[in-house]
Chains A and B, each alone.
Chain A
């Protein structure tokens, strides 16, 4: 048990550093977008537990599910940092099985992660009121304290402590659960670990696919990997090329649209036929 103390503590601290509101790493850029990503969390938790390879494998599996984690307007669908650090940390403390990491991450993210996140968002109104009062009173020090210092202490306590406790004391519970569940359930969890990334990607699709014809490009990307077995980097280059062609083509459309008020839909559908029509005008 004792050997778990420092890895669990480090994981808790990383969970704080990966928070959306942490200022140390250029705000959201370094906190939420870098340290907060499960892929990076896998590396960091792996370092904390002294097993980088398994850490990254767990991180990889969890990242796939949370690929589309979105935070728009302060609302969040699942608390990614608690999910990543709690899930990967507990998995590393017990079985080091990526599928277990995914299951735990979802469980933690959807339940106590969201509770803590929403609780903190509500709690911060208290500091906000004091910061606003400081602004009214021309009190520079009050703004700094209530914008930076006190909220950060609050968030540190609300992130590092629960994750530390969950890993330190949750190990026994998770071990007991894993050893006592029947084999078919383990198999289902294993299959689910592979399927749940579909949810993350589906959510990403619902943002980027803005009109039905866009689905063709989705299919093109899928086929380039599934059939042609191209690497991700190669596909990014091909996609950039296609995007550039699309940019050029949409330019042609807007020029003619000025004259003939072509509907918005026509701008998103760029078939060759339309080109020829445009040239005729």
Chain B
């Protein structure tokens, strides 16, 4: 059987073939997403060229490859490429006939997708995107197209770069990459990024929430605007109070976005009716 398979000597994946796996998954990871499978089928799709290279004469092995990569899968798709890299190195070993079980890629996918979704979502959706957006928003003040263009270019470079580096370092390190992902140093880096994110979110709050009072306070016959007094004590006090209220409702009271919207509508409506805002 080995003879019929190896009319030519089996080789490692070329750089081009690796990139093929990378971009096939990168472009289509959510193309057929449903609650049932999420990113599952993108895996089978990304291994089609791989199957043509190694399993051209072995439909049974090819079928097993496609089946084990048609299961439910869900992670943060950009940082998660590190899993695709690790699995590519394992699948390559399997195809070359080395001693790696076919269970291994499945187990790796199932164990790593959760932790990587946690790390990836909090770094990308929680930190990188809001930071770039807040810079873009401050550049877009007054309707300048520089703001959106900055964001398009910045994230257009950063997103695919993260994905590319994650995939290739996953492939290079193979199973050894797992230590890097869940190791102590990676936690320190994530925590530090988190601090960066928290500070920028604070600035973002001061920059984007607009709430001013139009109430006036009597001052010896004349009346002075209350907002002027507040600005003298703490600029942005009302926006700060509003965001802390929102944060408390979301994190401590576990409220949904819709409930918080309703509460804010009530506060603003009452405030407007009594002439506060």
Q: Which residues of A contact B (CB under 8 A)?
A: 20-24, 26-30, 33-34, 37, 39-40, 42-43, 52-57, 59-60, 63-64, 67-68, 70-74, 77-78, 106, 110, 121-125, 127-128, 131-132, 135-138, 140, 143-144, 146-148, 151-152, 184, 187-188, 191-199, 201-210, 214, 217-227, 230-233, 235-236, 238-240, 242-244, 246-247, 250-251, 254, 267-268
- Give A218 Cβ to nearest chain B Cβ, in Å: 4
Chain A, residue nearest B156 (CB)? A34
Closest to B244 in A: A202
- Please choose the segment from B9-17, B66-74, B82-90, B98-106 that sits at the chain A interface, where 4 or more of its residues have CB less than 8 A away: B66-74
B198 to nearest A CB, angstroms? 4
Q: Identify which of B143, B191, B192 contacts A54 (C-beta below 8 A).
A: B143
Residues of A within 8 A of B268 (CB): 188, 191-192, 195
Residues of B contacting A221 with CB < 8 Å?
198-206
Total contacts A to B, CB within 8 angstroms?
374
Closest to A128 in B: B37
Q: Check A220/B159 contact, CB under 8 A, given A198-B242, A202-B243.
A: no
Q: Which residue of A lies closest to B254 (CB)?
A: A206
- Cβ distance B13 to chain A, nearest Cβ, rounded Å: 19
A85 to B210, CA, bound (A): 23
Question: Do B78 and A29 touch across chains, with their CB atoms under 8 A apart?
Answer: yes
B158 nearest in chain A by CB position: A29
Which residues of B lie under 8 Å from residue A78 when comparing CB positions? 257
Query: Chain A residues near B30 (CB, 8 Å)?
Result: 20-21, 27-28
List A contacts of B247 (CB < 8 A).
Answer: 201-202, 205-206, 209
State in angstroms the CA–CA spacing of A226 and B237 once bound together: 9
**Residues on the A chain within 8 Å of B135, using CB:** 232-233, 236
Cβ-neighbour of A39 out of B133, B201, B205 (below 8 A) = B133
Nearest-neighbor residue (CB-CB) of A47 within chain B = B145
When chains A and B are docked, how far (Å) is the Cα of A128 from the Cα of B48?
17
Inter-subunit contact B35/A250 (CB<8 Å): no
List B contacts of A21 (CB < 8 A). 30-33
Q: Does B37 lie within 8 Å of A33, measured CB to CB? A: no
Contacting residues, chain A, for B32 (C-beta < 8 A): 21, 124, 127-128, 131, 146-148, 151
List residues of chain A with CB within 8 A of the CB of B204. 67, 201, 204, 221, 232
**Pairwise interchain contact B159-A132, C-beta atoms closer than 8 A:** no
Q: Confirm or deny: B250 has a beta carbon within 8 angstroms of a beta carbon on chain A.
A: yes
Complex: how many Å from CA A187 to CA B269? 9
Q: How far is the CB of A14 from chain B (nearest CB, A)?
A: 13
Cβ A26 vs Cβ B277 within 8 A: no
| Residues of B close to A242: CB separation below 8 A | 195-196, 199
- Give chain B's interface secondary structure class: helix
Known A-B contacts A33-B129, A123-B34; the reply to A106 vs B140 at CB < 8 A is no
Q: Say whether B160 contacts A188, CB under 8 Å.
A: no
Q: Nearest chain A CB to B208's CB is how many angstroms away?
A: 4
A152 contacts across to B, CB distance below 8 A: 31
Interface centre among B32, B122, B147 (most CB of A within 10 A): B32
Least distance between A201 CB and chain B CB atoms (Å) = 5
CB contact between B192 and one of A136, A144, A196, A247 (< 8 Å): that residue: A247
For residue B119, give the distance in angstroms from its CB to the closest CB of chain A: 12
- Verify if B29 is at the interface (C-beta below 8 Å from A): yes
Chain B contacts of A72 at CB under 8 A?
A: 117, 121, 125
The residue among A137, A203, A218 with the most chain B CB atoms within 10 A of its own CB is A218
Contact, CB under 8 Å: A131 / B159: no
A129 to chain B, nearest CB (A): 8
| Chain A residues within 8 Å of B273, by CB | 184
Q: Is the CB of B243 within 8 A of A205?
A: yes
Residue pair B197, A208 in contact (C-beta under 8 Å): yes
Contacting pair A218 B202 (CB below 8 A) = yes
B174 at the interface (CB under 8 A from A): no
Is A246's CB under 8 angstroms from B195's CB? Answer: yes
A244 to B258, CA, bound (A): 37
With a cutoff of 8 Å between Cβ atoms, the chain B residues found around residue A199 in the complex are 246, 250, 257, 260-261, 264
- Which residue on B lies nearest to A189, using beta carbons? B268
